[in-house]
With several copies, the nearest count.
Chain A
Amino acid sequence: MPRTTFAAAIDQALAEAMARDDRVVVLGEDVRTLRRGLYVRFGGTRVLDAPISEAALLGCALGSAMAGLRPVVEITFVDFVAVALDQLLNHAAKVEAFSGGRWRAPLVVRAACGGGYGDAGQHEQALWGLLAGIPGLSVVVPSTPADAAGLMATAVDHPGPVVFLEHKLLSEYWLDYLGGARRPGVEFDVPADGAVGDVPDPVLPVPLGSAVVRRRGDDVALVSLGVGVHRCLQVAEILAGEGVDAAVLDLRSVAPLDRRAVTDLAQLTGRVVVVDEDYTRGGLSGEIAAVLAEDGVDATYARVTTEGTIPYARRLETATLPNVSRILTAARSLTERA
């Protein structure tokens, strides 16, 4: 399998989908530049630059999906979804329900998310919990190139709306554009196995709602997604040195949530640390506690999340986002308690 970057993997999935299905179109601000490969290959009728009008753009994509297209609409950063949330909350998510199941909208919303490169809290949010809280939306957050390609392939074929979030720390071009990554002395804590990896050709679809165990372990379960998965793997390595076997679960989908994978691992280990780059009350870390409680799983619980607005200064930013040392502390608080 060829080694591929995270962004190239998504491009590959899109190129395959666009070659296979004439109804797949890419809409968004600056997409003829950002997705110039797709633009050159599929031309101007398939890749459309949009004005800075996210609400109209998202609603337009939705309408086109209702009328037979398979749009992949880009909202550059997930933070900007806030100017267009109505189109997701009150429209895309409700077409199937309001039509009594007679109409569905095969829409993909692609957005960059996440922090760690110094852009501060209006551009670095996760927000996947907020979106996953809306019944009728699927939300996916890949942590590897193979999953990025596989989830995009699935999203494009899915009959309902899917939000596909691309973590900027895994996408070289974003870090380069936004973070000025090539400057001297500028360093980002980029997880190597997230940024580059093996991607099957053709892309292997990854089903929605299916988590994957990235590392097995009996003592404590680290449950995460996106960049957090890689932080957890680092922590698991450190814990192994201390004689603690940590499992790492990569949720991949925020909605639907793979309840079974979570409860199985919780049952096995009796200890759960949720590592969620979204806000503490964003919804995901709480939902996992609720799932465990509803299913009567007897497990201790801790979470490492983003507690407030992400500050600009790199030092403060690092402390605010879930980092290895905070995860380690949380895991130890559970393993040392027992």
Chain B
Amino acid sequence: MNRGAAGSPRVERLTELYRVMCRARFAEQALRDLWHRGLVSGEMHLGIGEEAVVAGVVTHLRDGDALALDYRSTPPLVARGVELEPLLLEVLGSEDGLCGGRAGHMHLMSRPHLAAASGIVGAPGPLVCGLGLAAKHAGAGGVAVAFFGDGAVNEGMLMESLNLASVWRLPVLFVCKDNRWAVTTRSAALTGGGLARRLGAFGLPVARVDGTDVERVDRVAGRLVARLRRGGPASVLLARCERGEGHFLGDPLVRMAGAAGELTAEVRPLLRLLGGPGAPLSARVGALLSIGRRVAVAGGPRPRWRDPMRRAARRLPDRVARAVERSAKAEVDSAVDAALRRTGFADA
């Protein structure tokens, strides 16, 4: 696709989407930096690479709509309009944070946005059904959207939820972000029948989309959400996307692949295990190789990584893209500064 003409409706929409993506990306990069500086505790799961899916879906929501999120919830929350400073303060563990410092990044909640995250795989399924049930009861055309990963479809409660939304005809959109990985396992090897067939087994229409192309996501999601508002059936959006940061910050596979020293330190003791009692040698070598493959695939360089940001930017007039980036960056930077000052970490 080539660049649209400045001022056209397409460019205007894409600019809006790109703005949402930039805010999400920069906010996540800020979190990554804060985490590496040791100012954020515990795990940190980022949604870097999921921005097109998030922006393409969330920008269709309006007041009274609801969000059921997994542990990569910063991008959708930012996209939904949650203010940056309280969000950052939350992850910095401040009492002034979005949730008083009680939640951290895995359990972010914003009642005004009817949005809640969970660190339990599959949990967005039941939650979105409830949010949808309330919306249906209210009868004002509200919808509820869930985000979850490809690995999550094997969690019973998620499958149950796809069914529940189907048979109760709830105004719910299930968005599956398929990055093909669940922590250190390839989902394809552990998802019988494949992802698309699985998601389609509950009587819900499934739309597949390239989740790195925000305009495509936008079009499809727009159609699905509009249909839900008119009383149409719950639906599934299956969006292929890729993440650059592994499962969480400090992902051991990514680290091993990245640092020769770490890899050697990991592999040496494994090589020693090729001798001594145990499985036949061929089985051992096979196991060792399969670990190596995981490291290579998970952590290796991504020559073909189609960064959704870059794909979107390339379609905008250069000047527009840069302006959006600058203003988003400035906004995030100033929120980070304010949050750091407020927590007294400014000079850390």
Which positions in A face B, CB cutoff 8 Å?
Answer: 18-19, 23, 25, 29-30, 32-34, 36-37, 39-69, 71, 79-80, 83-84, 86-87, 90-91, 94-95, 97-103, 117-123, 176-180, 182-186, 309, 311-316
Q: Is A59 touching B278 in the complex (CB atoms < 8 A)?
A: no
Which residues of the partner chain B approach A53 to less than 8 Å between Cβ atoms? 154-157, 160-161, 163-164
Which positions in B face A, CB cutoff 8 Å?
Answer: 35-39, 41-44, 66, 68, 90, 93-95, 97-104, 106-107, 109, 111, 114, 116, 118-123, 125-135, 137-138, 144, 151-152, 154-157, 160-161, 163-164, 167-168, 182-185, 189-191, 248-250, 252-253, 266, 269-270, 273-274, 276-280, 283-284, 286-288, 290-291, 294, 348
Choose from A55, A98, A184 the contact partner of B103 (Cβ within 8 Å). A98
CA distance A86 to B156 in the complex (A): 12
- Most chain A Cβ neighbours within 10 Å, of B126, B129, B291: B126
Which single residue of chain B is at the shortest CB-CB distance from A94?
B107
Q: Is B130 touching A67 in the complex (CB atoms < 8 A)?
A: yes
Choose from B93, B120, B151, B294 the contact partner of A86 (Cβ within 8 Å). B120
A46 → chain B closest CB, angstroms: 7
Which residues of the partner chain A approach B252 to less than 8 Å between Cβ atoms? 33, 176-177
Which single residue of chain B is at the shortest CB-CB distance from A90?
B120
Q: Is A86 touching B123 in the complex (CB atoms < 8 A)?
A: yes
B117 → chain A closest CB, angstroms: 9
Choose from A23, A41, A117 the contact partner of B278 (Cβ within 8 Å). A41
Which single residue of chain B is at the shortest CB-CB distance from A79?
B120
B177 → chain A closest CB, angstroms: 14
Choose from A64, A65, A69, A98 the contact partner of B102 (Cβ within 8 Å). A98
Q: Is B128 touching A63 in the complex (CB atoms < 8 A)?
A: yes
What are 16 pairs between A and B in contact, CB < 8 Å?
A29-B182, A36-B291, A52-B121, A60-B129, A60-B161, A60-B164, A63-B130, A63-B134, A67-B134, A69-B130, A99-B102, A119-B106, A120-B106, A123-B119, A177-B248, A314-B93
Q: Is A32 touching B291 in the complex (CB atoms < 8 A)?
A: yes
Which residues of the partner chain A approach B144 to less than 8 Å between Cβ atoms? 63, 67
Which residues of the partner chain B approach A316 to less than 8 Å between Cβ atoms? 93, 101-102
Q: Is A311 touching B102 in the complex (CB atoms < 8 A)?
A: yes
B82 → chain A closest CB, angstroms: 13
Q: Is B278 touching A122 in the complex (CB atoms < 8 A)?
A: no
A178 → chain B closest CB, angstroms: 5
- Most chain A Cβ neighbours within 10 Å, of B39, B121, B163: B121
- Most chain B Cβ neighbours within 10 Å, of A43, A90, A121: A43
CA distance A33 to B294 in the complex (A): 9
Which residues of the partner chain B approach A44 to less than 8 Å between Cβ atoms? 283, 286-287, 290
B99 → chain A closest CB, angstroms: 4
CA distance A44 to B130 in the complex (A): 17
Which residues of the partner chain B approach A57 to less than 8 Å between Cβ atoms? 126, 160, 164
Which residues of the partner chain A approach B250 to less than 8 Å between Cβ atoms? 176-177, 180, 182-183
Given A41-B279, A184-B38, A312-B93, are A66 and B103 also a contact pair (CB < 8 Å)?
no
CA distance A183 to B35 in the complex (A): 8
Choose from A45, A54, A312 the contact partner of B41 (Cβ within 8 Å). A312
CA distance A69 to B152 in the complex (A): 27
Which single residue of chain A is at the shortest CB-CB distance from B348?
A185
Choose from B104, B182, B273 the contact partner of A52 (Cβ within 8 Å). B182
Which residues of the partner chain A approach B154 to less than 8 Å between Cβ atoms? 51-53
Choose from A25, A86, A95 the contact partner of B116 (Cβ within 8 Å). A95
CA distance A60 to B185 in the complex (A): 19
